[in-house]
Amino acid sequence: MNLDIPKNIRKIDKSDMLEILESFPLQIERAKDIGDGISLPSGFRGAIRNVVCAGLGGSAIGADIARSLTSGEISLPFFVNRNYSLPAFVNNNSLVIVSSYSGNTEETLSAYRDARRKKAAIVAITSGGVLEREASKDGVPVVTIPPGLPPRCALGFAFFPLLAMLSKLKLIKDKSKDIRETITLLGRMQRTELGMGARGKKNRAKVIAKALHRRFPVIYAACDHVDSAATRWRGQLAENSKTLASSYLFPEMCHNEIVGWENPLFLLKGSAVVMLRDRGDLGRVSKRMDIVKDILRRQRVDVVEVRSEGRSLLARIFSLVYVGDFVSFYLAVLNGCDPTPVDRISYLKERLASS
């Protein structure tokens, strides 16, 4: 299929996810405004000894990116919780940020109630639903974000208000300058190398999507700062492209998974590796990635390298995320799948609701 022909895209992209992806820099601007307007109780700052972000899926990836971004700056333990209950260490000295785009995610609602029982300080991020109603009733601060998007497409709203909270609590430095750089960078990337206006080999995302078509994608990244980008790629390939993928991190990969690239042969022959590279990767880790790339290529495994763009770490992380979002979109088109519906998730929720 020719990905440069708009009618080919429109025929499959019935819910117009392309427009959502291309307007993501504008979403960041709106999300920043929401973050700037957040007002937190003054008592939060002095009592906090750890931060726990509770969420699932598209509502959790924002917390993953915040953890990756701030790992070298924040002095408190920062934990992302994807479960019905919270860790035993959560208490009245914990800040629990509960994020559910719909406000109806049952695991997140359970975690919210657990945070209430543990008397933690709580902030909710949601577009409505049960979470907004319960939090408002309980006197818990609610950061209200716009509804109407697939949760995975609301990453800006899940991440930037959270980043603003950490800044307002003086846990990290103000990131306004980095946010402006990120908006400018992603806007340029959309126009020149990712969106429909970029044609043929000038479009990085289309080229990578074609390399992954009918393959099993394996996503690798360093664990220092861009691990969350690998998680995002895997999730987007699953939900948008309806493609099973794997993700793993360096340097741990060198101590086990590299040996697994021997069997089963049919799977290896049908695999393609994407390595997410960042100039902030630790030097020894970067060297490991180079060696593993050579090993895989000698085994005739296709390896695609995606290098981050931008100056600040925030911009670099989001540059990798943005490439992956577009890759998953174009791969969905190549697969003949509308990228927006997630029928199996809907079916699972219906079965759970009836049990």
C-beta of residue 246 within 8 angstroms of C-beta of residue 257: no
> Does residue 175 have an active-site annotation?
no
The fold of 37-174 is: Rossmann fold (3.40.50)
Distance CA 32, CA 26 (A): 10
Distance CA 156, CA 20 (A): 11
Instruction: Name the DSSP class of 294.
Output: H
Sole residue written with tokens 């709203």 = 157
Please write down the HEC assignment for all residues of 141-161: CEEECCCCCCHHHCHHHHHHH
What does the pLDDT read at residue 355?
84
Residues 237, 84, 118, CA angle at the centre, nearest 5°? 135
Active-site option among 132, 193, 239, 309: 239
C-beta of residue 236 within 8 angstroms of C-beta of residue 152: yes
> Is the dihedral angle over the CA atoms 307, 308, 311, 312 positive or is it negative?
negative
C-beta of residue 169 within 8 angstroms of C-beta of residue 44: yes
Q: CA–CA distance from 278 to each of 130, 192, 223, 249, 316 (Å)?
A: 40, 20, 11, 13, 7
Helical H segments across the chain, by residue range: 6-12, 17-22, 24-36, 43-47, 61-70, 106-117, 129-138, 155-168, 176-189, 204-212, 227-239, 257-260, 265-269, 283-298, 313-335, 343-353
What pLDDT tens digit does each residue of the chain (355 aa) get? 899 999 999 999 999 999 999 999 999 999 999 999 999 887 777 779 999 999 999 999 999 999 999 999 999 999 999 999 999 999 999 999 999 999 999 999 999 999 999 999 999 999 999 999 999 999 999 999 999 999 999 999 999 999 999 999 999 999 999 999 999 999 999 999 999 999 999 999 999 999 999 999 999 999 989 999 999 999 999 999 999 999 999 999 999 999 999 999 999 999 999 999 999 999 999 999 999 999 999 999 999 999 999 999 999 999 999 999 999 999 999 999 999 999 999 999 999 989 8
- Residue 334: both structure tokens together: 């190549």
Q: Which residues contact 350 (CB under 8 A, 6 or more apart)?
A: none
> Does residue 118 have an active-site annotation?
no
What does the pLDDT read at residue 340?
97
What CA dihedral angle connects 159, 142, 80 and 331, to 10 degrees?
-40
What does the pLDDT read at residue 41?
84
What does the pLDDT read at residue 46?
73
Q: CA–CA distance from 293 to each of 209, 229, 263, 288 (Å)?
A: 19, 19, 17, 8
Distance CA 60, CA 219 (A): 19
C-beta of residue 227 within 8 angstroms of C-beta of residue 281: no
Bridge partners of 276, per DSSP, are: 221, 306
Domain with CATH 3.40.50.10490 in the chain: 6-13+199-335, 37-174
CATH number of 6-13+199-335: 3.40.50.10490
Distance CA 208, CA 287 (A): 23
